[in-house]
Structure 1
Amino acid sequence: MKQNPLQLRIISCTLATLGLGFSSFSSAAGFALNEQNASGAGVAYAGKAAIGEDASAAWFNPASMSRLKQRQVVLGGHYIDLHGEFINEGTTPPPGAPAGRNEGDFGEEGYIPNFHLVVPFNEQINFGLSVATPFGLKTDFQPDWIGRFQGITSDIKSLNINPSMSYKVNSQWSVGAGVSAQKLDAKLTSSSVVGLGAESLTTIAGDGWGYGFNLGAMGQLTPATRVGVAYRSSIEQDLEGNVTFSGPAAATQNSDLVSKIRLPASLSISSVSELNPKWQLLTDATWTEWSTIQKLQFDRVDAGGASAPIPVQDYEWKNSWRFAVGGIYKYSDTINLKAGVAYDITPVPDERRKVRLPDENRITLAVGSQYQFDKATTFDVAFQYVMPDKAKIDSTESTATGPTRVLGTAEGNAVILSGQMSYKF
């Protein structure tokens, strides 16, 4: 059956709905963010489930809170500066639409705050609270770039509130658990064809809450080596939002939307080894269940009779791994120096790579320093340089006047500056 232009316009904008769960760049593969403290950033988050050096242990492994003997609060923040460029290698706009800007810059700045609190209850039990941002970032192409029919702006935010508890079983082993309430929020835009030479801006916005849990265990295997295992459950988000089109002719296609998306579970295995009184060696391997991202479907709510359904989109992501190794050097009684390297494997198959998520394997180099100001106050700073591989994109989508194909290479890098203050009270 032949589709009318408004129905095809709906199809051409469907890619935008995918951004409710995705961002075009993040510090880890997929759309995850590791930046939940600055003390771990300096070692590329190696040893994160075993180190337990400050109150951020409540997030990375609740069992490792048992190492903290005093009440402590951590306030941290991260500045991310992404430099990204799309190099056109044969992109074709829809028939009748102007080509626009031949290439596209999608770099953007982002800020990530986090908060952690640990309160010992007795010799065996500690309580913790973390407020973190585990997913999301913002990217922004020029409104007139040649691939605008598959994506312009992606603004993704998340907020996770995570109370937790640890229990010290004996002098060697501790366990922990927590629960999470997580909010996901997004606004996305793309261009739609409404006729020869005419375009409309499509905006999809949505948000939702989901709930999950996390578990952890930590053990002192030898006097010099400690290990930690941390599991964070998947979270199903019930999203509610709307789709709107600019221009009076498109007003009848505006409607509310609902959807479900299951954010991935993860499992981290970490170690911390005291090589000598001056050096610590840290390692980490983290598995993420990205295979939860297979399809995304949005259903209209209270839509008019002229509103076309929004087609299901296939993603077919794969589970992936992240590996990290780092070192901490005790320079003096008040200063520690840190360095680390990490390698992330992308969950995105080459044939499913899209404009909104030109994700590829990446290497992260990190350095940092920790300064103990006094018995109660410690400061951390860190610098990370993220180097993704070049990402090939070959994506074809339908529009009102015919198909549009984005063909080219996305490349770039990111700089992350992190800082935090830890205070015992």
Structure 2
Amino acid sequence: MTIFKLKANCLAIATLLSTAATSHAAGFALLEQNASGAGVAYAGKAAIGDDASAAWFNPASMSRLSQRQVVLGGHYIDLNSEFKNEGTTTPAAVAGNPGRDVGDFGAEGYVPNFHLVLPFGESVNFGLSVATPFGLKTDFQPDWVGRFQGVTSDIKSLNINPSVSYKPNARWAFGAGLSAQKLDAKLTSASVVGAGAESLTTIAGDGWGYGFNLGVLAQVTSATRVGLAYRSAIEQDLKGNVTFSGPAATTQNSALVSKIRLPSSLSISSVTELNPTWQLLADASWTEWSTVQKLQFDRVNAGAGAAPIPVQDYEWKNSWRFALGGIYKYSDTINLKAGVAYDLTPVPDERRKVRLPDEDRLTLALGSQYTLNTRTTFDVAFQYVIPKKAKIDSTEGNPAMGQQSRVLGTAEGDAFIVSGQVAYKF
């Protein structure tokens, strides 16, 4: 099979298998790109380099692999969340129909991933990853009291990332890669049309963006190695449509365009061999979420009288994630894993929206790796994500047109993530 055929097949597999994923890391980022790292809450992710998923987390670390290897993995994410209404108000134009208080807005998601590493000689490795680095789904009932600020928010991504590593000596390794990333977005909410009538507004669009990633791996001592990985920001130019339900609202339909800059990130990780049976892993990761300042959709060739789509201010800030984990060699065939991580939210309290009521979160992880034979290993992992309660006080809409609403309340919940993968050397 040629690399070009393999790349096409990977794209087809990821497209068929991926569904909208509930966000796990801060913002709407997804760390679930392998199961071997999930068991330690992704501590040491840029330094461990123990399977082909290293091509994604730090291309330099795949230099540790001396045989061709493929990794196929998947993750099931179950978000359980509820909103507690504390005084939400609907637009004055529909004051007689406030809607119902709805508690549950959780969702389920599936995240697949694929990784390949091909060594060329002793110094150069080629890698290919197909991953889903961003994803989000929140799903309120269409008649809930806060429907004018959001009903469904569905973001999907697909990133194709070829990479290469170079290892000049036993101490140092370097890596680089390119990314082609597709983003799909669908946002729905209620809007006021006519004399107190409502319409469901649907904004849908997609686009491709391009970026790069870099990595360095250093064997600091005989027992400790450190990895540094950088992934660039990717600017997405989205094209799509805005549609309104109901015969009276269809004149507002039009094409639209939008621009969003997805954040860059920088991770520093370490792996230390404490003794023949214990490994200690650590990680600190920075994400440039300040690229998300507003959400703006511009109409294209709209009909006369079509109202502009309101701009939403987000004003996110840069954030950090810290993780610590351990791997215990229970036997020649079984490794046991555990980890803990803490994510700091990029969302200011005063800018928290119903589409993503993000807060700081704690992740607890357990996992295990089983070596079947010299070629095949299996990983399974479980993560429990515990966010802080998220206070929401968000006012949107034009009061002069009777369209202003205020969502006031608290979002709380948790998430369960079950991961599995197979790694095969060939």
Matched with 1:324 is 323
Shift of 1:144: 1.2
Residues 412-421 or 94-103, more deviating = 94-103
Structure 1 residues 104 and 24: alpha-carbon distance in aligned structure 2, compared to 1, 3 A threshold: farther
Return the letter of the residue paired with 1:404: S
**Structure 2: 5+ residue runs without aligned partners?**
1-19
Q: Matches of 1:51 and 1:77 in 2, distance apart? A: 20
Q: Matches of 2:198 and 2:258 in 1, distance apart? A: 27
With CA pairs under 8 Å and 6+ residues apart, which has the higher RCO, 1 or 2?
1
Match of 2:87 among 86, 90, 108: 90
Shift of 1:297: 2.1
**Structure 1: 5+ residue runs without aligned partners?**
1-22
Matched with 1:240 is 239
Residues 188-197 or 224-233, more deviating = 188-197
Percent of aligned pairs with the same residue? 81
Residues 395-404 or 129-138, more deviating = 395-404
Q: Matches of 1:298 and 1:94 in 2, distance apart? A: 22
* Equivalent residues of 2:21, 2:108 under 8 A apart: no
Q: Matches of 2:83 and 2:290 in 1, distance apart? A: 27
Shift of 1:279: 0.2
Q: Matches of 1:88 and 1:249 in 2, distance apart? A: 31
Return the letter of the residue paired with 1:201: L
* Equivalent residues of 1:24, 1:139 under 8 A apart: no
Matched with 2:43 is 46
Instruction: Confirm or deny that 1:413 pairs with 2:409.
Output: no
Matched with 1:277 is 276
Could you list the per-position Cα deviations for residues 190-242 of structure 1 after superposition, in whole angstroms to 9, with x for gaps in the alignment?
11122455211111100000000000000100000000000000000010011
RMSD of aligned Cα (Å): 1.2
Shift of 1:156: 1.0
SS of residue paired to 1:86: strand
Matched with 1:108 is 107
SS of residue paired to 1:105: coil
Shift of 1:100: 1.4
Aligned length: 403
Return the letter of the residue paired with 2:411: A
Return the letter of the residue paired with 1:219: A
Shift of 1:115: 0.1
Matched with 1:182 is 181
Matched with 2:15 is none
Matched with 1:155 is 154
Return the letter of the residue paired with 1:241: G
Q: Matches of 1:263 and 1:212 in 2, distance apart? A: 10
Q: Matches of 1:188 and 1:294 in 2, distance apart? A: 18
Return the letter of the residue paired with 2:365: A
* Equivalent residues of 2:102, 2:141 under 8 A apart: no
SS of residue paired to 1:63: helix
Matched with 2:71 is 74
Q: Matches of 1:265 and 1:186 in 2, distance apart? A: 20
SS of residue paired to 1:275: strand
Shift of 1:318: 0.5
* Equivalent residues of 1:59, 1:130 under 8 A apart: yes
Matched with 1:294 is 293
Matched with 1:346 is 345
Q: Matches of 1:356 and 1:103 in 2, distance apart? A: 15
Matched with 2:373 is 374
SS of residue paired to 2:380: strand
Q: How do residues 243-282 of structure 1 correspond to structure 2 at under 5 angstroms? A: 243-282=242-281
Instruction: Confirm or deny that 1:64 pairs with 2:65.
Output: no
Structure 1 residue ranges (4+ consecutive) displaced by more than 6 angstroms after TM superposition = none
Shift of 1:104: 3.1
* Equivalent residues of 1:24, 1:154 under 8 A apart: no
TM-score by length of 2: 0.93
Return the letter of the residue paired with 2:387: P
Q: Matches of 1:45 and 1:185 in 2, distance apart? A: 26
Residues 411-420 or 248-257, more deviating = 248-257
* Equivalent residues of 1:106, 1:142 under 8 A apart: yes
Matched with 1:10 is none
